[in-house]
Amino acid sequence: MKNAASLVLIVLGSSTALHGAINQSCKAGSQDKSLIHVHGRLNVYNGGYPNLRLWHIGTHHLFGIYSDPADLRCARIENCEQDEDTKLPSNLEKLDLLKVTVYGDFEIRVLKPFEAGHMQAACIVEAGNLVIRH
């Protein structure tokens, strides 16, 4: 009985940790067709906004990473401060993205339609299978 109770606590603890790794503001109100899975590299780039970008490995496509859809509207109308502290899932929040490159599997919410030759706006809902390079 004691082992069963311990197992239940471990499972509940694991699901809570996984749930904490989701960017709730990005996921809120999203439709299934706006969520896609990408194997990519997350980096801070110099020049332009947003500086945080996700390269979809195997393509020439870049996603500009915003906190959520409201952040994109703010940048478009240019009458508010640009958000330097982009909201990310908790497993990415704890990393110093200025000093590391992150490879992994990302679930992202696309915020703008695809346009060939242009960076596409998105926000990161979840990140997993992360490999950190210094």
Task: Pick the more confident residue, 12 or 28.
Answer: 28
Q: Are 130 and 78 in contact (CB under 8 A)?
A: no
The domain spans of the chain are 23-133
Give the separation between CA 127 and CA 25, rounded to whole angstroms. Answer: 15
Q: Are 89 and 107 in contact (CB under 8 A)?
A: no
Three-class DSSP category at 100:
coil
Model pLDDT, residue 17: 38
Task: Pick the more confident residue, 33 or 35.
Answer: 35
Model pLDDT, residue 79: 52
pLDDT confidence tier of residue 86, bands split at 50, 70 and 90: confident
The 10s digit of each residue's pLDDT in 101-114 is 999 999 999 999 99
Residue 133 has pLDDT above 60, yes or no: yes
R_g of the chain computed on alpha carbons:
17
Task: Pick the more confident residue, 38 or 13.
Answer: 38
DSSP H stretches of helix in 1-134: 2-20, 24-27, 69-77, 90-93
Write the DSSP symbol of residue 88: -
